[in-house]
Structure 1
Amino acid sequence: IHAASAAIQNLKIRKEENRQFFTETNLVLLSKLKKVMIKIAKYIKEIREFKWLRRYFTSKSIEETFRLLTTEFDGYISSLNFSIIIELKMQNEKDCAALKHDTHETNQLLLQLVESVNYNKEFRDDVTKIKDGVMDIKECVQDIKNIKDCVHDIVTMLKHFEEFSTMKKLFNNLQSSQYKSELKEEDFIDSLLNLGDFTFAERSRGGIQKWIRNSDHLELAFTEINSNLLSKEHQKSLLFEVSLLKKLRGSRDIVQFYGLVKDEYRSKMYLVTEWSQYGNLREYYKQKKLKPSIKLQIALDIALGLNFLQACQILHRDLRSVNIMIGSHEHAKLANF
């Protein structure tokens, strides 16, 4: 192209000397030669900018396009009888050799790119597998922790069962006349709570008061017991029975007992249990329309509570809606058993 451009430029400079060259036919050939030179220049630019790489394996090969352009170029040069035809032919051979070399290097570059992409993909796959493995290990550790917590809860529950069983046997023995006289204050003293450890919160629901334990702000229910109607022996039996019920801490489906507290100033005694946020079941379903899913959950909670009491050899003799309390998260708990 440079040689042809130089020859054309030389013709322009020596226009007067080469007037006979600029015939109508040669002018047409020069115009076509210019167009093919523009095509060749554009073609070379595309190769430099790698625009062909995306179409490398689907369109005509580089050699084929190069051959067509150079053939067209050589034809116009031959028709114009330029003196540079031989030089252009030699340059063409050099360009073909260089093009083959560049094509080989391009192929090698593409292979390296493919290998790099494959390596990166394999590396990402390995990293993903490692991450999945770490997550599996974390899940296993969490499962082990959950099992450990479950075992701890079971051991605690069995301990409470054992304590409850021992006290129940003692309580049954104390009901007989030969043991009643042996009932002493030290057998139930742990049931007495200090009223000063609690703060009154509000009066609520048929004589049941809401109090707050000062140490941890736990909400508790104080149910008044008319101690004036109880004989001294009955009061002792009540205190011992509450001590027994305090041991039933292995189930979340029954109301938890915390003990008894005396108000010496008002001469009153209160049974201390956990506070039920929504009151009893009768109050709850009168105030709120229950979804079928909530009804099923309440039924399941009641069944689990009865199953727990049966395991403790306790028969609930007054199972009705007023003796089923609804705590937080709409969880049902058995009471007054």
Structure 2
Amino acid sequence: MSEVSEENRKLRADRVKSFIPQQVYDTAGLRLSIDKLETIETQQVDATIELENLSIEEKLEKARELIGSTTVIGEVVKPYGPLVSSLADSIRRIYNSYEHAQYNKKISNVLLDRVDCIAAPVKALKRRKDKIENFLNQDYYNSLIRLLAVLKKTQQFITDVSSLWSLRKFPTTKSIKDRFERITKEFDGVIRDLNLEVRSNLELQKKRDTQALHSDIVILNEFLENIGSPITPKKQISPIFEEIMLIKSHINESNSGEIKLTQIPPNELIKTTRPKANDRYGNVIKRCWQTAETEKLVACKVIDTTPTQKFMDQLVLLNKLNSCSSLIRFYGMSSLDWGPIPATVIVYEWAEMGNLKNLYEKFVIDMPATFEISVGICRGLLFLHGCDIMHYDVRCENIMINGALEPKIANFRLCRPIHDDKEFQNISDPPEHWMAPEQFRNEKRSSYYTYKCELFSFGMLLWELAHGRIPYRGWDESKITKHVLAGNREKIKLGPSLNTFRIDFAKIVRAAWQDDPLLRPGLYKIFLDLDKLHKEYPWNKKLKPLEYNDDDEVIAVFPETDSNTEEIEEDDLFDSDIILLSSVRKRLKLSEGIKAHERGDEQKAWECFDYHASINNPQAKYWKGFYLWEGRCVKKDRTLASQLFKEAADQNHPDAQFFYASSLIEEGVLSETSEYLHYMTLAANNNNVDALCQMGEIYLDGKYNIEKDEEKAIQYLKLAALKNEQRALNRLHELGMKLFEY
């Protein structure tokens, strides 16, 4: 063995390490000592100098010779573990969002086709050790990052298009189409780049995309056209939903009781009956509310327990819900004599005809009456769901009927003391008669409840109303459970003649009764079907005493197999620490780039934003545009900055929408009014507080030749004020407006 100098030994040690990835070398404890290197034959050590020019496959083979195949595979694949876990978590969230979708299920479904295609290959990444070369490839890593990004966008898009209040983010249905097409294009591109052994016919998928878009957008346009006030007062989704969501958030975050309920003086609630006449109906007292300005009959509902502050705060929301005429109107709180001590009461509008169960027990509810009443109930439920509120107990007994024979939804969760639901409802029949099959299957049935459960209960209400009795009358819970879980339902009586409208109504009920929640149509589709029947067969608003007909034809429910019926937890886009081999250049997570910006390390922040913008991340585009606009760390380029703001704005980034709109103003002069108003409105609808304030100022002062509109201005300023924006609070104060006026 020939002697080598100290300098040559160090050189040779470096050469040995050069063909072993640094992390593999360090993790495996292979820091070969100089003494051990001396035991290697000279010709072997010298040969390592030539390894620099070897391919990845040849280097891996040499590494296997030194440390073994198992160690090489384990150390190379290990850094990708957190990334694969993030991908799997994103896929899980997408499926979860789809399960809770209320609108645009077909659009969401074709996106899930792509998710289904990549789900198995992503899962296989943890075991496909024979593809080890991929994990040493920078392009492969970048493609996985892009896949994670597009999965996040997909999940957010499904969330946005699947609920009424979030649909307000899209000013037109065309904007839904545009955003969908951007996501699918990016999705298809990253699938091609990764070569994940995906079996997918791209042309067939594009055909499905087109069909799904057309179908859902046609139905959505029809719904927005027909639902009317208060959901779409001007054929646009009302901002009332956003205001209610913000009030709910404010109540949940603050329990200070700063929002005050209307307190009705007891002396204004006057008895209207003779001294000995009954004015009590269960836990409801009838009174006449007399003031200098008004006089109306009211129902005073007794709360026989001390209401909590949370319950009092939640009642504040009932003031906002008053804008929907299909909900029982709430006036405030008071106290009345009830036994030895005064009782706290909630004051509602008086429903002269009692509840809907009382009505069908006394009068004939023919099919035209059923259609009109059902449409009113459905409109009220849609409004509640748009506010992210569920009823939890949909049945005829919880629908009040006023003197004009209009339905009023009552007794929903917000109207009850949180700790004392059953006593407060005063309902005689247990909920099992209206319960969805998945609730029976769930061990925690008392707490398990979704919008799909509510839709099933609404289907049971439709049956109850059409047949004039509660479902499964006289059955106990055990019998109902066994019957429903076997796929059976109540029998539908269509009458002596099978009229088309009766069959259409039966189809609606059966659709709501589907055993699989995902097969139940959205409530808005049920509304359209009921509304069509209601318009074709109008009700004359006349009732006649109940008559019985034993000749009704009974049609058995179709077996489920024969049926012909068709919230995010936000986190950083790259939320896992991704450890890379030395052959892959490590990139900062976007959140780390933002932290670098906050601590003043602008060069590191710029490099991070520049990289993530290059893989089409909208938040990174916004930050890159910001740096170019201000000339931070790079030469100022406001033209390119404005372009980046617009690209991110079109990808629905609220701050970018605000900045792009603002970039259209130079030295106080607006170059393009319509484009400015479009993007500033988008930013405001996406809850950018600066945009909310700006929109308030625009409509209040008539800036940039935009027509003044004080109602819109106050609306935007209130939304900003609910986010604790001092400018908006000051402006409302100047106008003499209070944030909470009830």
TM-score band by shorter chain is 0.3 to 0.5
The structure in which a higher percent of residues are strand is 1
TM-score by length of 1: 0.47
CA radius of gyration, larger in: 1
